[in-house]
């Protein structure tokens, strides 16, 4: 059993859970810290003051105060909108390692998230429910957001996951394992990076361009920042300039399947 307290996770623990299906659980101290930080989020939500990403929009909409009835929908849409990954899915051990490290980060108690979210990630690991996470894609400067969004999609009963040798809708996997999809509540998003030492050069060399979904055209350098966020930025910049064509998939009218 690996107990997650946000401080003592080792590389050996990650390998044991990712590759050998060692069971995992949040420690009592971690749950206590998470409850403490969650109360601060609940207190903020109960007030009238706008609090970024809790009761406001994000990015350019940061100054827009949401009605109470809109907050849950905004949180769900944040997850869906970040599910922009493409390409061959990451292997099961990589996804399991990512899930474990994320649960350990949440166990630190700094994000304001409910303990049930960390516990449910542990449940997925213990029941070997592995979200399907595409291997290509990032969101701006936060390269982990797209993969983690695909993981979170399964927690709310959407997306797809592998369970008992089958790739199934996330909700079906949860139901077969005896779990219910989590409701979404406002939280403060933390950032993390999952490092995997066997990624090949082709993975590191590829870059995903963010496109303007209103007309399906890629942003040119003078329309907005082009940010390259994995090692080898200069080399990738030369690679991007050498591209002769780009295949663009407009996802604006195709939300992730339930």
φ/ψ region of 5 (left if φ > 0, alpha if ψ in -120 to 50, else beta) reads: alpha
**Three-state SS across 123-145?**
HHHHCCCEECCEEECCECCECCH
Pair of tokens at residue 176: 């077969």
Q: Verify whether residue 52 is a known catalytic residue.
A: yes
Pair of tokens at residue 134: 């595409």
- CB contact at 8 A, 112 and 188: yes
d(CA 197, CA 253): 36
- Which of 3, 52, 163, 196 is the catalytic position? 52
Q: What are phi and psi of 246, to 5 degrees?
A: -130, 130
Catalytic residues: 52
């Amino acid at each position: 059993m690996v107990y997650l307290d946000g401080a003592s996770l080792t590389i050996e623990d990650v390998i044991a859970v990712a590759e050998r299906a060692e069971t995992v659980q949040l420690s009592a101290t971690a749950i206590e810290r998470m409850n403490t930080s969650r109360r601060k989020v609940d207190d903020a939500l109960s007030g009238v003051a706008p609090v970024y990403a809790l009761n406001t929009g994000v990015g350019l909409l940061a100054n827009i105060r949401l009605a109470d009835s809109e907050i849950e929908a905004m949180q769900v849409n944040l997850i869906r909108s970040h599910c922009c990954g493409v390409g061959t899915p990451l292997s099961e051990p990589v996804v399991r390692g990512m899930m474990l490290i994320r649960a350990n980060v949440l166990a630190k108690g700094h994000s304001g998230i409910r303990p049930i979210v960390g516990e449910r990630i542990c449940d997925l690991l213990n029941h070997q429910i592995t979200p399907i996470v595409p291997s290509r894609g990032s969101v701006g400067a936060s390269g982990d957001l797209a993969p983690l969004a695909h993981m979170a999609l399964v927690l709310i009963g959407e997306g797809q996951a592998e369970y008992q040798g089958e790739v199934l809708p996330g909700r079906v996997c949860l139901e077969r394992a005896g779990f219910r999809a989590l409701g979404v509540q406002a939280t403060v998003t933390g950032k993390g990076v999952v490092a995997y030492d066997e990624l090949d050069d082709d993975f590191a060399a590829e870059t995903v361009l963010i496109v303007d979904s209103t007309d399906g055209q890629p942003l040119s350098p003078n329309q907005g920042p082009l940010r390259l966020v994995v090692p080898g930025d200069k080399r990738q910049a030369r690679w991007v300039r050498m591209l002769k064509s780009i295949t663009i998939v407009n996802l604006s009218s195709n939300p992730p399947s339930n």
